[in-house]
Amino acid sequence: MTYEEIMSLMKSKKNDIDNETLKFFSNYFFVAVKKGVIPTNISLESLIENALIFASKIEFYDENHRIYKEYGEEVKGFRDPESKIIFIRNNLEEPLREITVYHELHHAVQTNPENNQVGINQESNVGRLIMEAQTQYFAEKVYEEIHDVKFAEREIPSENLRMASGGIVVSKLHNYEMYDNLLTKIGIILEVPKDYFVFLNYLYNNNLGLKLLEEKYKEAKNKYQLPYEFNQFLLYYDYAYCVDLLAYQDNPDKQTILNGGITQKYEIHPNQNLELSLKNQLYNLSQIDGCCFLNLAEKGGNYKDFAKYIIDNQKRNLAMQYIATLEDQKSTESQNKR
C-alpha cells in the first residue's frame, strides 16, 4: 500500500483529522507495512481503527500546560485516555521529539481495547521489558525510514542510564538504551530480528504473542541448554524494567533506588515479590549475560555478537578474552594442518 493510500484510509476513518496528526499516523503505518511487521491475520484497517480508539490527535505542550504541571519535566510523552490525545513535550530536541510521537502511537496501536493492556503484557509485568523495548526500537525505526537516516551504535556508561556503575550499554537508540541492549541479546539467543518482537506485540488476543514467544524460547533453551525456564528468563528482564521504571517515575522509592538503596518488595510477576535495587539489577543482568554467552559459545550460537552487548565490564572483558583465545587456537590448528 502506498503512502497516499494510507493517508486516504486514515481520512476515511477520521475525516476531521488535522494535517499534523495525519502525517505522523501515516508515517507510522507506512513503515509498519513496509517492514512487514503486521501479522497476516490482522488488517491495516483494523489497526488504524484500534489506534483511533486510544489516540486521535497529536498535541505538543509547553511548561504552562496542565500535563507539564501534573507530570513534571521528565515525562516526554503521555497518552490521555479521556481526550484520546497524545501529548508530547515540545522542548524535546529532535529526533527524540518526533520519535516520542511514534513511541506513544505504537503503544496505542498495540493496546487491547478489551482491557487496555498493551501488547504481550496482558498479565502483570510478564514480558513488559520486551514490550517497552520493541516500542522504542520501532519508534526509532519509523524515524529512520521516514527521514532516510541510520543511527550509529554508542557505548554508554551504565551510570548514565539509571543503572549501577561498572557497565557499558551498547545501543543506537535515543531513549531506553538499556532496554534495547537487552532486546538485542534476546534476539541473538532466539535467532530472530527485532521486528519479530514488534510482530508479537500486535498478537495480544488470548496472549498469543506471549505463547509464541515461549515456544521460540523453548527451542533456544533446548538448542543451547539454557538453565532458565521461560518465566524465570523473563523475570530477570522484567526486574530490570521495574527498577528502571521506579527510578524514573515519581513514587516513594524513587530516591531510594537512585541513591543505591533497596526498596520494599514489589510483585513483578504473579507471586514473585522482590526487593528492587540498582545493584541487584546489574547483578541479575550480569549473571544471565555470563550464562547465555558461555552456553552460546559451547553449543555453536552467535556468542561473538552477544559478547559486545554484555553490560558488566568485567564479564564483557572475560568474554572478549575467551573469544581471542578461541581464535588463537583455531589459527594454530589451521597452521598445523598445512
pLDDT of residue 328: 81
Relative to beta strand 85-89, strand 57-61 is: parallel
Q: Which domain, by its residues, includes 33?
A: 3-156+168-235
Q: CA 248, CA 257: separation in Å to the nearest integer?
A: 10
Residue 176 resides in a domain:
yes
pLDDT of residue 263: 97
Which is more confidently placed, 68 or 126? 126
User: In which band, very low, low, confident or very high, does the pLDDT at 69 lie, cut at 50, 70 and 90?
Assistant: confident
Which is more confidently placed, 268 or 73? 268
Q: Is residue 113 exposed (0-12), middle (13-18) or buried (19+ Cβ within 10 Å)? A: exposed
pLDDT of residue 81: 82
Q: Where are the beta strands (DSSP E) in 197-295?
A: 265-269, 272-275
Query: Stretch 50-69: mean pLDDT, rounded?
Result: 88
Q: Is residue 62 exposed (0-12), middle (13-18) or buried (19+ Cβ within 10 Å)? A: exposed
Residue 260 resides in a domain:
no
pLDDT of residue 113: 92
pLDDT of residue 82: 86
pTM of the model: 0.95
Q: CA 22, CA 3: separation in Å to the nearest integer?
A: 11
Per-residue model confidence as pLDDT tens digits over 195-218: 999 999 999 999 999 999 999 999
Per-residue model confidence as pLDDT tens digits over 42-57: 999 999 999 999 999 9
The number of distinct structural domains making up the chain is 1
Residue 268 resides in a domain:
no
Residue 194 resides in a domain:
yes
Q: Is the pLDDT of residue 331 over 80?
A: no
Per-residue model confidence as pLDDT tens digits over 106-152: 999 999 999 999 999 988 899 999 999 999 999 999 999 999 999 99
Residue 205 resides in a domain:
yes
Residue 96 resides in a domain:
yes
pLDDT of residue 34: 97
Nearest-10 Cα torsion for 176, 178, 183, 188: 140
Per-residue model confidence as pLDDT tens digits over 238-255: 999 999 999 998 899 999
Query: Stretch 267-279: mean pLDDT, rounded?
Result: 95
pLDDT of residue 166: 96
User: In which band, very low, low, confident or very high, does the pLDDT at 289 lie, cut at 50, 70 and 90?
Assistant: very high
pLDDT of residue 332: 73
Residue 288 resides in a domain:
no
Per-residue model confidence as pLDDT tens digits over 145-172: 999 999 999 999 999 999 999 999 999 9
User: In which band, very low, low, confident or very high, does the pLDDT at 63 lie, cut at 50, 70 and 90?
Assistant: confident
Residue 245 resides in a domain:
no
Q: Is residue 312 exposed (0-12), middle (13-18) or buried (19+ Cβ within 10 Å)? A: buried
pLDDT of residue 338: 60
**278-298 vs 230-248: helix crossing angle, rounded to 10:** 150
Question: Which residues are bridge partners to 61 per DSSP?
Answer: 89
Mean pLDDT of the chain: 94
pLDDT of residue 165: 96
Q: Is the pLDDT of residue 14 over 90?
A: yes
pLDDT of residue 335: 67
pLDDT of residue 276: 97
pLDDT of residue 336: 67
